[in-house]
Amino acid sequence: MTNTPVALTLNAGSSSLKFGLFSIGAAPVEMAVGLIESIGKTPKLKASFGPGMPPLSRDLTPAEARDHKSALATALAVLRQHFPEAKATAVGHRVVHGGPSYDRPMRLTPEVMEELRRLSPFAPIHQPHNLAGIEAAIEAFPDALQVACFDTAFHRTHPKVNDVFALPRAYYDKGVRRYGFHGLSYDYIGGELKRIAPLIHDGRVIVAHLGNGASMCGMINGRSVASTMGFTALDGLPMGTRTGQIDPGVIFYLVQQEGMSIDEVREMFYSKSGLLGLSGLSNDMRALEAAGTAQANEAIDYFVFRIRRELGGLAAALGGLDALVFCGGIGENSRLIRERVCEGMGWIGLELDRERNAAGDTMISTDLSRARIMVIPTNEELVIARAAKTFVEMRQGGSGIPGPDQR
């Protein structure tokens, strides 16, 4: 292990830090993966390690995770305890917004960092925390390669008709356009389809990434054609605490008639809406399914309705449908949501096998279903580790920026 390059992966959220440790020899191999959540509040640590090593779960003191810098220090202490000889050759970061320019992973230079800071208003609840994680990692690993992997990059293959808003043209040139997000997840699912079901991969596939953040992507031959998210990670499906699609006129009303400030509207749209706002109970689908209250059921109904509506729209954009793939925390674990999304969807070619769905099989459609229905757990950290490996190999070989086929 001492001679094998090692990559650390970091995924910094608004109040969380996901981390992974990968051996990046012939192919990335996961050594450890973990999560620190509720940073700055009541932080908790969860981590799992290799075969034969028990998982770790414990509450943290406020000092251990008062901010992303201290959370990273805590995560590194845990990793050093279990892998004292491992030294990070590269650190790979999930960065939510890469703007119109970045369509592939990039080595983080001062110039790239400056551009990512400029993009912070495009992703106000994500980008600043991504950058905080990067800065903490640069300080902790000054000699390691620092690599950014962008959630928007996967969608740069959109045709312009799926990128543009019907605004004066000058705003498109300023970057006001549809970007799409969750690209690392879609990239992974596309790769898995190519590995396990190449004929499905080459066809018309809709991937539903359903979790606290939720979106859907229409793909042909593994490339993004259309997605539900737009200029920010607020658009499209309702999410745990985010509104999803909403008439912009609601903003005018809230400001002009309710006397709310723009900051108050933003806080409500990002943090107090979605499943939480509709149910008045929780942003956690497990809690809503268990609650059985009228408000919880209405929140679930709306979530399912919007998924089904977007499913039809994306199928139209693709010119048909060959497969629907569920991933993300809800998509992978909620048989109820999968069943309700697919119910009565025979007109689009979907026929769910309830027994396979209840068992959590990979293929959950019936044998006679014209379009396949699948459940594939996503792995954004592995996508980041693969990118880090590519840059390590380029540095060893003296190569430049990777091409699209190396993404």
CA 92 – CA 205 distance, rounded (Å): 28
Low-confidence ranges of the chain (pLDDT < 70): 1-2, 398-407
Q: pLDDT at position 218, please?
A: 98
- Global pTM value: 0.93
Q: pLDDT at position 406, please?
A: 40
Task: Report DSSP letters for 148-187, one per residue.
Answer: EEETTGGGGGS-GGGT--SS-THHHHTT-S-----HHHHH
CATH number, domain 6-150+386-406: 3.30.420.40
CB 112 within 8 A of CB 150: no
The domain spans of the chain are 6-150+386-406, 197-375
Q: pLDDT at position 279, please?
A: 98
Tokens representing 401?
């920026």
Record: fold of 197-375: Nucleotidyltransferase; domain 5 (3.30.420)
Q: pLDDT at position 76, please?
A: 94
Q: pLDDT at position 361, please?
A: 98
Indicate which residue of 67, 151, 163, 353 is catalytic: 151
CA 339 – CA 208 distance, rounded (Å): 13
- Its sign, for the CA torsion 89, 93, 98, 104, is positive
Is residue 151 among the annotated active site residues? Answer: yes
H helices of 294-401, in order, are 294-318, 328-333, 335-342, 354-359, 380-397
CA-angle at 14, arms to 337 and 74, nearest 5°: 110
Which residues pair with residue 94 across a beta bridge?
149
Q: pLDDT at position 94, please?
A: 96
Tens digits of residue pLDDT in 337-354: 999 999 999 999 999 999
CA 392 – CA 399 distance, rounded (Å): 10
User: Is 287 strand, coil or helix?
Assistant: helix
CA 135 – CA 220 distance, rounded (Å): 37
Q: Which of 122, 119, 102 is CA-nearest to residue 233? A: 122
R_g over Cα of the chain: 21
Residue 169: exposed, middle, or buried by beta-carbon count in 10 A (0-12, 13-18, 19+)? exposed
CA 404 – CA 335 distance, rounded (Å): 36
Identical fold for domains 6-150+386-406 and 197-375, yes or no, is: yes
Cα 160 to Cα 97, 149, 156, 313: the distances in Å are 18, 23, 10, 17
